[in-house]
Amino acid sequence: MEPLIRLTGIAAPLPAANVDTDVIMPKQFLKGIDREGLRDGVFHFLRFAGDGSPRPDFILNRGPWRGASILVTGPNFGCGSSREHAVWGLRQLGIRAILGTTFGGIFFDNCLNNGILALGLPPDDLAVLLRLAEDPAHNRLTIDLPAQTLLGDDGTCVAFALDARRKEALLRGHDAIAATLEEANAIQSFEKAHHQANPWLA
Amino acid sequence: MTPRTLYDKLVDSHTVRALDDDGLVLLYVDRTVLNEYTSPQAFSGLREAGRKVWSPSSALMVVDHVNPTAPARVPEMADAGAALQTSYFARNAADFGIELFDQMSPDQGIEHVVMAEQGRVLPGMVVAAGDSHTTTYGALGALGYGIGTSDIEHYLATQTLPYRRLRTLRIVLDGVPGPGVTPKDIIMGVVRAIGADGATGAAVEFQGPAVEAMSVEGRMTLCNMIVEAGARGALVAPDAQVLDYLRGRPGAPTGALWEAAAEAWLGLRSDPDAPFDREARLDVSTLVPLVTWGTSPDQAEAVDGAVPDPATEPDPVKRRGMERALAYMGLAPGTPLAAIPVSHAFIGSCTNARIEDLRSAAQVLRGRRVAPGVQAIVVPGSTRVRAQAEAEGLADIFRAAGFSWRQSGCSMCLAMNDDVLGPGDRCASSTNRNFEGRQGPGARTHLMSPAMVAAAAVAGRICDVRALEA
């Protein structure tokens, strides 16, 4: 997983509520067995018309927001199906951070597992960032993960909270499985006692 | 001892160790079930890192999302993507030593239906799986929750997941449901009341007389669909009904072990004064059958009501969402719901394709015919459910009414197989999600109970099932 430390990029506003993973990655793109080739799937029916041409009304197809690496979203972004393909696709499109108020729980975890910073912010802070993202003159944001701040080039500064473990994981781009396997002995001991206490589970 | 919720007890009893001071723990997970579309990359990851599966016997692999539902089932998948996924799935099962129910197995079905009917989920367990509707297992007193593919890989390699303890939400259901009001209407009523993000990140426990009176399969519908309000877990304390449901199932213990287990399971409940972070109440006697008019599961209205007017919604984000939903659904504010014609009817999914669901739909269809022009299909939740429905004569009722009687699978719930709607098709559906494009690009989905789907199929439009039952 690629570390995320400090990132400057274009923020795109996507303020709709309840944007689900079916919309983020339609099922037509789920027939593979690897993580590749999902770039075109992201927001597919919002981004592309039936003939494959880009829809000019969709924010990521419009000049100042093309190539955005940060999304500023509405509440409950990424709700619905557990499909991690949605997050793999966003990453392949170059998205490194998603700023919102609340997220679908599985989606939120999937983001962390793929090096995307998903941040649930207070509504007032999000409103400030949304206004910046909507303004073509000021839609460039810098995310400073060590300092836990979001900086606009107009001088806006929004601090954010982040639990230490998630921060560390993003900074180091760590392998969660390797970290857990360091606890293999503890897991084995736990398992033995658990099955002794609940022998019908063994 | 500090009083604890059932959720607290399950997390505590599965905590290997704390990972921070704020509720993050390494959680031991007892079981998983894998499907063919969210698991391939997890197995590839294990292969690339040279890792083994910690406990192959704790996992079950079920083909359910991509398999065709045509009445005659064949081992080969005509669709290239489905063939690739199922062949890789079978290879992973063989290489990693995990039991597989492929599409030809007599035990095959939708993963959550199969896990319950096989007795693979038992009270007190923690079960994580790569499907959001894993919350279904709460009906059996097990903490089930959905995970992504990276976490599937983590589970397979370590039998654990890093897990942050959730905030708890108690939902108390009072009252006795009126005629035509099913567990589906009740959970749609809950989601409508609290909103599509009303339980975001919460562990929900359902309590109250309406839950106690509800069948285990009805509780599965509740726990299954509370994820549409964002819940990350759902629980109902196990009772005598749960024991009756589990007794004799292939995975249930027997003899002295059953006696010991049953005693432990009946003790699994929240302490009387255990604190919940939040509480919601709903008197189910106030509900009537519900139908969704929009593209989010919380956009539901009483069947005898009308399509709402976005102009009356003060919240601008919600108002825009309503306008967009109505544009997508091709509906005008004020239209009576019972005047909306349907072209398709679908009974199926992990929410509503169990035997009780099929019985309630068949009861409406007995002696009736699907309206001309409506294409109606019923996809049982598992091959065992299908066999039972045939033995009970339900299949004959569906066929006589003009429904197509299919093989089991997820089917048109997310339409990853060939059961796909076309643009503008309008479907009465017993499923859980009415998202844009979910049943096919441009397809329009109205969520409702299986009995209401049957009524809509007969009427050729959305129809109050109470009018047919009278």
Q: Is A168 on the interface with B (CB under 8 A)?
A: no
Q: Dihedral angle at the C-alpha atoms of B415, B136, A23, B346, nearest 10 degrees?
A: 30
pLDDT at position A42 over 70: yes
Provide the pLDDT confidence category of residue A2 given band limits of 50, 70 and 90: confident
| Integer Cα distance of B456 and B371 in angstroms | 9
Identify all chain B residues contacting A79, using CB atoms and an 8 Å cutoff: 196-197, 230
pLDDT for B469 beyond 70: no
Q: What value, to the nearest 5°, has the Cα angle with vertex B78 and ends B76 and B82? A: 85
Taking only the tens place, the pLDDT of each residue in B48-75 is 999 999 999 999 999 999 999 998 898 8
Q: Is the pLDDT of residue B470 over 60?
A: no
Q: B392: distance to nearest CA of chain A, Å? A: 33
| Strand positions, DSSP E, B103-243 | 126-129, 143-146, 160-164, 167-174, 202-207, 233-235
Q: Pick from A137, A9, A25: which is nearest to A72 by CA?
A: A9
CB B422 within 8 A of CB B375: no
DSSP string of B76-113, one letter each residue: S-SSHHHHHHHHHHHHHHHHHT-EEE-TT-TT-B-HHH
Q: Which of B16, B125, B153 has its CB closest to that of A186?
A: B16
Q: What pLDDT was estimated at residue A64?
A: 93
The pLDDT tens digits for B148-165 are 999 999 999 999 999 999
Say if strands B59-62 and B32-34 run parallel, antiparallel, or are unpaired: parallel
Amino acid at residue number B387: A
Q: Would you call B433 an interface residue with chain A, using a CB distance cutoff of 8 Å?
A: yes
In angstroms, the separation between the Cα of residue A21 and the nearest Cα of chain B is 9
Q: What is the pLDDT of residue B275?
A: 97
Q: Among B10, B98, B31, B7, which residue's Cα sits nearest to residue B251?
A: B31
pLDDT band at A175 (very low <50, low <70, confident <90, very high): confident
Q: How large is the average pLDDT for residues A135-155?
A: 96
How many Å lie between the alpha carbon of A113 and the closest alpha carbon of chain B? 6
Tell me, what's the pLDDT at B99? Answer: 98
- Mean per-residue pLDDT, A116-133: 97
Indicate yes or no: CB of A176 within 8 angstroms of CB of B317.
no
Overall average pLDDT of the B8-33 stretch: 96
Other beta carbons within 10 angstroms of residue B87's beta carbon come to 14
Contacts of A31 in chain B (CB under 8 A): 37, 66, 79-82, 84-85, 416
Q: Cβ contact (<8 Å) for A180 and B26?
A: yes
pLDDT over 90 for what percent of chain B? Answer: 96
Amino acid at A116: I
- The predicted pLDDT at position B1 comes to 79
Whole-angstrom distance, CA of residue B261 vs CA of residue B244: 13
The three-state secondary structure class of A98 is strand
The pLDDT tens digits of the residues spanning B250-263 come to: 999 999 999 999 99
Got the DSSP string for B142-163? -EEEE--HHHHHHHHHHSEEEE
What is the model's pTM? Answer: 0.97
How are the residues of chain A apportioned to helix, strand and coil, as percentages rounded to the nearest 5? 40, 20, 40
Helix, strand or coil, per DSSP, at residue B362: helix
Q: Which pLDDT tens digit goes with each residue over B360-385?
A: 999 999 999 999 999 999 999 999 99
CA distance A56 to chain B (A): 18
Q: At what angle do helices B216-225 and B183-194 cross, to 10 degrees?
A: 30
**Chain B residues closer than 8 Å to A199 by CB:** 257, 260
CB-based contact, A32 to chain B, within 8 Å: yes
Mean pLDDT value of segment A24-50: 95
Q: Nearest residue on chain B to A163, judged by CA atoms?
A: B22
Point out the residue among A23, A31, A199 whose CB comes nearest to the CB of B81.
A31
Predicted pLDDT at B90: 98
Q: What is the pLDDT of residues B290-330, one digit of tens each?
A: 999 999 999 999 999 999 999 999 998 889 999 999 999 99
Would you say B82 and B417 are in contact if contact means Cβ atoms under 8 Å apart?
A: yes
State mean pLDDT over B178-182.
97
Mean pLDDT of chain B: 97
For β-strands B300-302 and B290-292, DSSP reports them as antiparallel
Q: Cβ of B325 under 8 Å from any chain A Cβ?
A: no
- Could you tell me if A23 lies within 8 Å of chain B, comparing CB atoms? yes
Asked whether residue B22 carries a pLDDT value surpassing 80, the answer given is yes
What is the structure's pLDDT at B252? 98
Residue in A27, A75, A109 closest to B197 by CB:
A75
State the complex-level ipTM: 0.96
How far away is chain B from the Cα of A45, in angstroms, using its nearest Cα? 8
Is pLDDT of B198 > 90?
A: yes
Strands B143-146 and B126-129: parallel
Does A106 sit within 8 Å of B148, measured CB to CB? yes
Of B158, B261, B321, the CB nearest to A181: B158
Q: What is the pLDDT of residue B71?
A: 87
Is residue A110 within 8 angstroms of chain B, CB to CB? yes
The helix/strand/coil state of B172 is strand
pLDDT in tens, B204-239: 999 999 999 999 999 999 999 999 999 999 999 999
What pLDDT, in 10s, does the model give residues B395-423? 999 999 999 999 999 999 999 998 999 99
B437: left (phi over 0), alpha (psi -120 to 50) or beta: left
B366 burial type by CB count under 10 A (0-12 exposed, 13-18 middle, 19+ buried): middle
> CB–CB of B442/B422 below 8 Å?
yes
CA distance A149 to B118: 50
Report the residue from A32, A45, A177 with minimal CB separation from B154.
Answer: A177
